[in-house]
Every structure is written in structure tokens, then in C-alpha cells.
Structure 1
Amino acid sequence: MAEIIRFPSGGRVPATTIPRAEFERLAELALDVVDRIILLLDDADGNPDEEDNGDAEPSLAAPTGGRSQRIWAAGSAGDFEAE
């Protein structure tokens, strides 16, 4: 831990501008990295859209019509997943 680089305290760090094309290139690179991370996690987990007994738990969507969605949004302390 001898190589700690402290963030400058006091004083402002000057911002620099970059050309729009460079910004777009960096944004695309960041999105590619995120896509690769998601693919790695999906591969490690098997089918990313399937849970063990996934149909045994209640829907997480708020009900439409009937009772007020405000009551649903307030939530509860109950854990209604099948054991």
C-alpha cells in the first residue's frame, strides 16, 4: 500500500475538453465493457432468465385497477416466496 495516490485536496482540478468524436468513442468503449461483463455474468449463471422454481413466487409488478397502487407501493415486511 505504499503506492497510494491521494486525490488533490483543496484547489480545483482543471477540467479539459475533448472532441465529440473522442467522447463518443469512449462512450462506446464503456458500453462494450458493460456488455462483456453482463455476458460473463450470464455465462457463469447459466440461463439468466430462469430461476429455481421461478414460477413459485408472486409477480413483482404492481396490480392495475382495483386497489390503489399506493397501497401496493407502501409494501410490507412479508416474504412471500415459496420456501
Structure 2
Amino acid sequence: MYIEDNKQERLRLLIHSFFQEHSCDELIDMLYTVYRGWALQVSIKVDRDERLRILMCYSDLKEFLEEFRELYVPEVTVVESPPEDPF
């Protein structure tokens, strides 16, 4: 049980630190930049199914980030240290 709690805490910290470094708006802008760069460079060279797959992934990621922005409220965790032993 402790290992699972540890993994969940690590995941929570990873998500929290990631979104401290990058705002959802910034990520959405960067996602569009990556998609646009891909589309300009290789979209002519790949087949229709591949273009559609990438477009759907872009749309899904954008929607995910927009929803995440509305739902994510970072928790502030205060870890209480045990009282110091005077002896």
C-alpha cells in the first residue's frame, strides 16, 4: 500500500511542478506551434489517415488542456514535522 501511495504522491508532485513551470495557455500555444510545424513540413508526404490521426491527437490534447485548466486546483501540502525531542 505504501508503494502505491508513494507513486500517487510522485505523480501529484510531477503534475504540480509541470504546471508551475508551464501554464495551460502556454502549453496550448506551444502545442499549436508543434502541430503547425509538423503540418508545414511533412503533411504533404504522409497519407490522409496519418494526417487525420495527427489532427485528432492535436484536437484531443488541446481539449484536454483546456478542460484541465478549468479543473486543476493545485493543492498546497503542508508537511508537519514531529516535535523535536529536547533530550
- Under a length normalisation based on structure 1, what TM-score does the superposition of the two structures give? 0.34
Structure with the higher fraction of residues in helix conformation = 2
Which is bigger in relative contact order (C-alpha 8 A, separation at least 6)?
2
When Rg is computed on C-alpha atoms for both structures, the one with the higher figure is 1
- Under a length normalisation based on structure 2, what TM-score does the superposition of the two structures give? 0.32
